[in-house]
């Protein structure tokens, strides 16, 4: 029998305990061993819970218990779980975690500390979708060319509503908060940070790159307006918050931002709270993995899959590479060297010659325009100018935007969304 | 170092040998060991091959070679590979196979013989999509509710062409043969047998059911006409060859047939030679896996992923369940007890009262009609009558068709396509 202790018995922890009981027949058959959750640790022990495990508020009741074989960490946060996971590993316990923030910051140290002990984390990215297994095992023969994912269900829910129902950002945020999809302080989701944590984990398995959230380009969806949505529709795009990791000749791009995606691209059809990850490998070509990115039972499905793998005795390098054998290390590209096509949104003064001054400012910075749309609706004697560019580098578009802002007829009224074909 | 011998060095075998060389850096880093293909066995040794391994025409050169660690079986057929795989396992070698026909007939005997030796087969279903890993590992906490898959690229290519370009079945079959997607004798693909072999493998992992192709309902795409395609379009369906395994209260349905799929269902959008598998689990909800179902490099990607897993020392029960621990065994439902909605296509004599006699014949067999369409175009004084039913059982629809055929105004001119919402 394998005994599980759960640190953090919230929505996911409760699902883990319940499913281990409800599906115990099939889980035993698949694992080859009975698996039982025996202990849970919570902050508030007075809260009533309808699960059948011993509850305490002291993590050491699990971590120092020689009876516990696997510690499941579902606390959230970084500092406290980091200390507890380290301690659990030092006590010789296997660890399963769904904590993407912890891994975004400490995955390589934890790999070092874990050594031959399993530290599994399927649930940390895209909830119930077995994307970690796919990258670590199923696609392991491939040099990965790109990963493009919808990794945050809250943002995808909000963008889908804005696009399909014309709801404003503020309205849909309130709705998402009422439904429990978004927190009272939604920054972690809508700011792109949650998606960035997940993308960094995937990029480690694909490319062996040890980057932190601070090292990569992260933009959230809070600046998306109905103007952008309407332009996107007019030109056959959907707007999605994408996590993108791409191998280029000089290194690997890793970035998270709202993205215009052609509506012929299957990932553009992934709506509401669903997640999807497209992975292109040099042998396999394009694959895509789709499913629920959050929710207690879906996330617990991934946590228990890891527990079963551990029970079967399966190991393998935590981040997909045997340390010391990575070969030629791939480097993280500087954010300024990222290449993309861009959509630019300008509010310009409505007078003759403005269009000419805008296009010539872009042309001087070698930015080539692909399409352009002037919108009639005027506010404060200004008109909307929406345009898309051919592929160029982030540093060039930034310089071009600086030039545009220097024009009297434009000023600060410039923003961009990146385009993925 | 791990040494690989390849039985059958055709398209896939050549890709395996080439990728092991081309991607050796990353494969070694991921496997933790150098992996080298050293020997291949072929029928025709005089044929020129641009790969760097020792070629012979005697399988025992690999199977009896104590230097070979893993035997990769890519021969096709059933009888010969069965004997050779058995012998390889008895010689203590790990085996990786892409041979779905072999597994459709002998997976349980081979599991018995393999014992603790790994016998892996990711490449046998859906080419490069890691669907075996997803079912065996990633979704192992779930009772699987259903598997619905596009598992044969040839059929999907042909149906996509028929639907999007209005090409006839005979024309598109010829084209598929010219492109190398279909064999000179295309029965194995267009008859649904290839998809059935793959579905039986997936159903074993999901349900522990040991069924043979003869035990399940298999229908091919060779009876699909432009009339069906037009009807499908008119009512918002696509036509796909689907493999379907579903848990019902009384057992498990396993069936392969052309299917009308609502065009709002994501699987209806999977076009051309691509494969996709939707898996619904009781914890995770719906997941979907998409990618190339055939091709040398994509299939080799899956073969090598298995090799890397073996090199990492990972095992686990071949078919997902520890033998003897399956619990309450699920039973295969008889084909007659399968439930579905149906599309019926009739050619009826164009005279008053015929519609009444058709609908009353159906009503007598308790078949309830959902939609009906009479097409004007007349051949031999007959008109097309196309209708869909509400859900009923296979045995009821069969009895109803018998009653319809007994009507003078209908005769033998009745056929059906099943509908999946």
Q: Which domains does chain A have, with CATH numbers?
A: 2-131 (3.40.50.720), 140-291 (3.30.360.10), 338-420 (3.30.70.260)
- Round to the nearest angstrom and report the end-to-end CA distance of chain B: 51
Interface A-B: count of C-beta contacts within 8 A: 222
Q: Would you state the structure tokens that stand for residue B146, as one six-digit string?
A: 């259903």
Q: Which residue of B has its CA nearest to A138?
A: B130
pLDDT at B327 over 70: no
- Indicate if B198 belongs to the active site: yes
- How confident is the model at residue A378, as a pLDDT? 65
CB-based burial of residue A328 (10 Å sphere; 0-12 exposed, 13-18 middle, 19+ buried)?
exposed
Cα–Cα distance, A144 to A277 (Å, whole number): 13
The verdict on a CB contact (< 8 Å) between B300 and A282 is no
Probe site for chain B from A131, A286, A291 (most B CB atoms < 10 A)? A291
The whole-chain average pLDDT of chain A stands at 94
Distances (CA, A) of B418 to A42, A378, B375: 51, 55, 20
The verdict on a CB contact (< 8 Å) between A30 and B322 is yes
Cα–Cα distance, B240 to B87 (Å, whole number): 39
pLDDT at A380 over 80: no
User: Out of B198, B247, B345, B347, which one is annotated catalytic?
Assistant: B198
B6: left (phi over 0), alpha (psi -120 to 50) or beta: beta
Q: At what angle do helices A354-364 and A394-406 cross, to 10 degrees?
A: 150
Q: What confidence tens digit (pLDDT) does each residue in A188-219 have?
A: 999 999 999 999 999 999 999 999 999 999 99
Cα–Cα distance, A281 to B291 (Å, whole number): 11
Distances (CA, A) of B75 to A143, A300, B34, B97, B339: 27, 40, 25, 9, 37
Angle at A268 between CA A264 and CA A270, to 5 degrees: 130
What is the mean predicted confidence (pLDDT) over B21-28? Answer: 96
Q: B164 CA to chain A: closest CA distance, Å?
A: 15
Q: B256 CA to chain A: closest CA distance, Å?
A: 23
pLDDT band at B377 (very low <50, low <70, confident <90, very high): low
The verdict on a CB contact (< 8 Å) between A141 and B23 is yes
The verdict on a CB contact (< 8 Å) between A27 and B286 is no
Q: What confidence tens digit (pLDDT) does each residue in A38-91 have?
A: 999 999 999 888 898 999 999 999 999 999 999 999 999 999 999 999 999 999
Q: Are A399 and A240 in contact (CB under 8 A)?
A: no
- How confident is the model at residue B359, as a pLDDT? 94
What is the mean predicted confidence (pLDDT) over B95-103? Answer: 98
In chain A, % of residues over pLDDT 70:
98
What is the mean predicted confidence (pLDDT) over A147-165? Answer: 96
Strand (E) positions, B8-163? 35-41, 54-56, 70-73, 94-97, 119-120, 144-150
A323 touches chain B (CB under 8 A): no
The whole-chain average pLDDT of chain B stands at 94
Q: Which residue of A has its CA nearest to B275?
A: A287
B281 touches chain A (CB under 8 A): yes
Q: Do the interacting molecules here have an ipTM over 0.90?
A: yes
Which residues is B148 bridged to in the sheet?
B244, B278
Helix (H) or strand (E) holding A343: strand A339-349
Q: Would you state the structure tokens that stand for residue A92, as one six-digit string?
A: 């010789």
DSSP A123: G
Compare CB distances from A138 to B122, B142, B284 and report the shortest one's residue: B122
The verdict on a CB contact (< 8 Å) between B292 and A285 is yes
B322 touches chain A (CB under 8 A): yes
Q: Chain B, 116-175: which have a CB under 8 Å from a chain A CB?
A: 122, 128-130, 133-134, 137-143
Q: Are B419 and B259 in contact (CB under 8 A)?
A: yes
Q: Which residue of A has its CA nearest to B15?
A: A283
A73-93 in b/e burial notation, b at 16+ Cβ within 10 A? bbbeebeebbebbbbbbebeb
Q: Would you state the structure tokens that stand for residue B270, as one six-digit string?
A: 């999977």
Helix (H) or strand (E) holding A217: strand A217-218
A314 touches chain B (CB under 8 A): yes
**Smallest Cα–Cα separation from B362: which of B385, B379, B339?**
B385
SS3 A51: coil
- How confident is the model at residue B235, as a pLDDT? 87
pLDDT band at B326 (very low <50, low <70, confident <90, very high): low
Confidence (pTM): 0.96
Write out chain B residues lying below 8 Å of A141, CB-based: 19, 23, 27, 300-301, 303-305, 308
Rg, C-alpha atoms of chain A: 24
The verdict on a CB contact (< 8 Å) between A291 and B282 is no
DSSP A71: E
Q: Chain A, 54-93: which have a CB under 8 Å from a chain B CB?
A: none
B298 touches chain A (CB under 8 A): yes
């Amino acid at each position: 029998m394998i005994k599980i202790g759960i640190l953090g018995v919230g929505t996911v922890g409760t699902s883990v305990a319940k499913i281990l009981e409800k599906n115990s027949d099939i889980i035993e058959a698949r694992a080859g061993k009975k698996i039982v959750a025996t202990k849970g640790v919570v902050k508030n022990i007075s809260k009533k819970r309808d699960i059948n495990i011993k509850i305490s508020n002291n993590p050491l009741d699990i971590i120092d218990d020689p009876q516990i074989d696997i510690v499941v960490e579902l606390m959230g946060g970084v500092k406290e779980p980091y200390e507890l996971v380290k301690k659990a590993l030092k006590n010789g316990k296997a660890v399963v975690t769904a904590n993407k923030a912890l891994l975004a910051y400490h995955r390589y140290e934890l790999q070092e500390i874990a050594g031959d002990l399993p530290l599994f984390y399927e649930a940390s990215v895209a909830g119930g979708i077995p994307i970690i297994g796919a990258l670590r095992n199923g696609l392991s023969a491939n040099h990965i060319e790109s990963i493009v994912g919808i990794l945050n269900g809250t943002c995808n829910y909000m963008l889908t509503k804005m696009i399909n129902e014309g709801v404003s950002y503020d309205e849909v945020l309130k709705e998402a908060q009422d439904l429990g999809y978004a927190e009272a302080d939604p920054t972690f989701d809508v700011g792109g940070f949650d998606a960035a944590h997940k993308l960094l984990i995937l990029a480690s398995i694909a490319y062996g790159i040890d980057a932190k959230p601070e090292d990569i380009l992260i933009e959230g969806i809070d600046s998306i307006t109905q103007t952008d949505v309407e332009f996107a529709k007019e030109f056959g795009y959907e707007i999605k918050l994408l996590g993108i990791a791409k191998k280029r000749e000089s290194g690997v791009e890793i970035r998270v931002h709202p993205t215009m995606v052609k509506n012929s691209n299957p990932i553009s059809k992934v709506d509401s709270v669903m997640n999807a990850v497209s992975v292109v490998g040099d042998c396999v070509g394009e694959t895509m993995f789709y499913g629920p990115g959050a929710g207690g039972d879906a996330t617990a499905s991934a946590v228990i899959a890891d527990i079963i793998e551990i029970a079967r005795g399966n190991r393998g390098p935590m981040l997909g590479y045997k340390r010391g054998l990575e070969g030629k290390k791939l480097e993280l590209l500087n954010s300024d060297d990222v290449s993309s096509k861009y959509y630019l949104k300008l509010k310009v003064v409505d007078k003759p010659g403005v269009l000419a001054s805008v296009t010539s400012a872009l042309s001087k910075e070698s930015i080539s325009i692909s399409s352009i749309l002037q919108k009639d609706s005027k506010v404060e004697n200004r008109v909307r100018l929406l345009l898309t560019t051919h592929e160029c580098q982030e540093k060039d578009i930034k310089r071009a935007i600086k030039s545009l802002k220097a024009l009297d007829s434009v000023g600060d009224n410039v923003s961009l969304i990146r385009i993925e074909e």
